[in-house]
Amino acid sequence: MIIKIVKLIDSNQYIFENKPYGPVDVRTSESETEEEKQAAIESLRSFNYAVDDKNILRLVTVCEKETIKKAQLDSELLFEETIDLLKRQPVTKIKNCDNAGYWVNMDTGETKPFLKPIDTHIPFLNQVFQTSLGPYSPMFGEQIISSKRGIESVEAFIRSIHWYNNSESQTRSYLRFLYKWIAIETITKISIDEDIIPKLCLILGFVLSKYKRSTLNYRSEKLMLINRNRHYKKIIKDEFYKCKKIRNAIVHAGFKETDLLNENLKLKLYLINCVYSCMTKNIEKIISSGKNTLKEVWDVMFENVVKNEILLNWISGTFLPQVSSIISNSDDVTDDDIF
């Protein structure tokens, strides 16, 4: 049977209805029938959430399954990835309303609320349908980035976002650091033994030997100006290699929270946050252009950095002065300073 699954989430931003995120639509209550609205209200109240039409959003997907339980379980992964993508939008805050939501049998019209959590195991997805082109239409790969199931670069991108978002909820400094670094490795590493530091330096405008040959084909005055700052180039490269060592120590050598007291963690986290923000913005554009593997993505990364005037201006005008400020301990850094 064809089943519509709806998950309710609490957002601080009003998002217009029928905005597709691959096989998931983000909608408001305006898209619902009266029966669906009542099911949503009943579900929210059962989980002790207030009913607010402006803040409660609907994540909607349609799939063909034998049972309601299978449809709900399979839809959870899609909803989780959509929430991760929504969280990337500036100032957007998303709060899960537990398992609040409802289901609709598209064949009979039967509508029922989810009143309490069920099994959280999420199996692999089978066939799914998107809802933006009608009640239920087969997915098309070219819709948007989040719909490209099974594509290496997209899967890595989504996993990376998941790790990075999880880092923000960690209370232990070393776990927050580790999750952020894993997020970076997930989207940069092509082989298990690869040294990703040249890629991270490239994203921040500093060309190490790995990319020297590329500079012959792209003579960017702004990039050359940035690379004349050899002092910062060495600091940033060294800090990233220190990050790599800390990561290995946390995973393999019983790293303790107190060990971070001997590190300039503020500088390291600023570098990590900046490189991740810049990197994901570039990667999102590259994937949308049709690059399906991480190798294809990083083969054209140099060209994308060189041609990104906004990024290069931000590196010279904001990023490097902030690095200097952190080193001298003369100022605090806010999220507004991150590209």
The pLDDT tens digits of the residues spanning 183-220 come to 999 999 999 889 999 999 999 999 888 877 766 666 77
- Residue 129, H or E segment: strand 128-130
Strands 24-27 and 111-114, how do they pair? unpaired
Strand, helix or coil at 267?
helix
- Its domain, for residue 35, covers 2-147
112 in the same domain as 200 = no
Same domain, 175 and 31: no
Residues 133 and 157 in one domain: no
Q: Looking at this protein, which amino acid is placed at residue 224?
A: M
Q: Which two tokens stand for residue 167?
A: 């880092």
The pair of structure tokens assigned to 239 is 């800090």
The span from the CA of 256 to the CA of 23, in Å, is 42
Number of domains the chain contains:
2
**CA separation for the pair 165, 181 (Å, rounded):** 12
The answer to whether 106 and 131 have CB atoms below 8 angstroms apart is no
Q: Which residues pair with 4 in a beta bridge?
A: 62, 104
Could you tell me if 64 and 114 lie in one domain? yes
pLDDT digits (tens, 9 = 90+) for 206-264: 988 887 776 666 677 888 888 888 899 999 999 999 999 888 888 887 666 656 656 67
Q: Would the pTM of this model clear 0.85, i.e. be above it? A: no
Domain edge (last residue) among 128, 147, 166:
147
Let me know whether 169 and 242 are in one domain: yes
